[in-house]
Amino acid sequence: MKKTVSVVFGTFAPMHKGHIDLIQRAKRENDRAVVIVSGYDQDRGHQIGLGLQKRFRYIRETFNDEPLVSVFKLDETGMPPYPEGWTPWLEALQGLVAIKEDEELVFYVSEKGYAEELRSRGYLASFTERNFGISATLIRENPAKYWNSIAKPFRRHFSKNVLVVGSASNGKTTLVRDLGRYYSCPVSLEYARYYQQRFNVRDDELTGKDYNYLLTGQYRQTSDLIDSDTNRGLVIADTNATVTEAYYDYYIGETSSSFHSLCGDTVKNEKWDLIIFVLPTGSYVDDGFRDMTMADADIRNAFTEHLKELVVKNHPQTQLTYIGGDYAENYAKAIQLIDGIYQEY
């Protein structure tokens, strides 16, 4: 008797718990399971920033601890569209999946037409009606509403990430903490403050090597929060690579360095949906680690202008708003801005 290899295929833009349930059932009922992530240039996933390669990597990540599930990528670019493309598509699949002589394929599908087509071509096919009341289309239209149904690695794509920037001692950390409590969402605070307290080093004592650690540490901290179970669709951060770059330029001043190369790569990997720039209005407070030369209004304003230039250069496609009122005004304006990109359920 031949062993059976189940096949679950789809666009998965995004993968959700209905897909996962089907794959896990296919795994349990057969000797092993194969997931085929298919797509082409400008498909519906690509149109929302979830290209084929990204979907493939996210699904590999979803099943990274499952030895009985193998994930493959099938590029449909150049193939005739459905339903004419069945023959080249199946040929491509056979080339990806190494089937042994004592094995046969069993397709698991939730489209009756797919099951009928596959059976007419001599394949085994198991048809199951969708029973989760969820679809990738519904998620794309309203990810926050269906957050719990999105496969975990895909959530980072749909997370709304808000960045609050500005010079030091202008109330942005307090603002971020208060916004986090208001929205019951995770917040990524300044990794630099943790780093300086741990090593007992002031702003003006940091070296170029320290800034490399600050850059990577901040990125990892924020990324881990975006990927964490505490993220319900909104994450707020009070610094990022661009802010770190501004301080590097001010204190180190090297225009050509490995830091700027690393910073550029980090900025490319960041995803922000809204940037709130808090302008300096209050006095500059010494917290024991700050360089008090920033208390000079001209220096502080020059730093702010440089940070403005970097934000515009590094994040040209991100919504950017400047706020510069008193704390109550900034808090109310920030909520208004966040409500414009994020809807709670």
Span 110-121, pLDDT tens digits: 999 999 999 999
> How are strands ordered across the β-sheet holding 187-188?
187-188, 234-237, 160-165, 274-278, 319-323
Residue 294 gets the label, from left (phi > 0), alpha (psi -120 to 50) or beta, of alpha
Per the DSSP assignment, residues forming a β-bridge with 32 are 5
Give the pLDDT confidence score for residue 180 in this predicted structure.
Answer: 98
> Is the predicted pLDDT of residue 129 greater than 90, yes or no?
no
CA distance 9 to 24: 13
Give the pLDDT confidence score for residue 83 in this predicted structure.
Answer: 82
Boundaries of CATH 3.40.50.620 in the chain? 3-142+147-151
Task: Give the least confident one: 26-35, 115-124, 160-169.
Answer: 160-169
Residue 130 banded pLDDT, cuts 50, 70, 90: confident
Give the pLDDT confidence score for residue 71 in this predicted structure.
Answer: 98
Give the pLDDT confidence score for residue 283 in this predicted structure.
Answer: 63
* Nearest Cα to Cα of residue 151 among 143, 141, 162: 143
Per the DSSP assignment, residues forming a β-bridge with 104 are 4
* Nearest Cα to Cα of residue 43 among 60, 61, 55, 59: 55
**Which pTM does this prediction carry?**
0.89
- The full DSSP string for 166-207 is -SSSSSHHHHHHHHHHHHT--EE--HHHHHHHHHT--GGG--
Report residue 225 as tokens: 């929060």
Mean pLDDT of all residues in 141-165: 96
Name the CATH superfamily for 3-142+147-151.
Answer: HUPs (3.40.50.620)
Boundaries of CATH 3.40.50.300 in the chain? 159-339
- The angle formed by the CA atoms of residues 307, 274 and 40, to the nearest 5 degrees, is 115
* Nearest Cα to Cα of residue 35 among 74, 92, 81, 77: 74
Name the average pLDDT for the chain. 93
Topology annotation, domain 159-339: Rossmann fold (3.40.50)
* Nearest Cα to Cα of residue 196 among 183, 207, 185: 207
CA-to-CA dists, residue 284 to 75, 276, 292, 330, angstroms: 56, 20, 8, 18
In terms of pLDDT, which residue wins out, 30 or 130? 30
CA-to-CA dists, residue 188 to 26, 120, 245, angstroms: 39, 55, 18
Give residue for tokens 């833009």.
13
Mean pLDDT of all residues in 124-131: 89
Give the pLDDT confidence score for residue 259 in this predicted structure.
Answer: 93
- Residues 38/74, Cβ–Cβ less than 8 Å: yes
Give the pLDDT confidence score for residue 165 in this predicted structure.
Answer: 97
Mean pLDDT of all residues in 137-163: 96
In this predicted model, what pLDDT tens digit does every residue of 198-255 receive, in sequence order?
Answer: 999 988 899 999 999 999 999 999 999 999 999 999 999 999 999 999 999 999 987 7
Helix axes 241-251, 258-269, angle to 10 degrees: 160
In this predicted model, what pLDDT tens digit does every residue of 261-306 receive, in sequence order?
Answer: 999 999 999 999 999 999 987 665 555 555 656 667 788 889 999 9
CA distance 18 to 32: 19
- The full DSSP string for 146-168 is TGGGB-HHHHHHH-EEEEEE-SS
Residue 82 banded pLDDT, cuts 50, 70, 90: confident
Burial profile 240-278: b = 16 or more Cβ within 10 angstroms, e = fewer: bbbbbbbbbbbbeeeeeeebeebbeebbeebbbbbbbbb
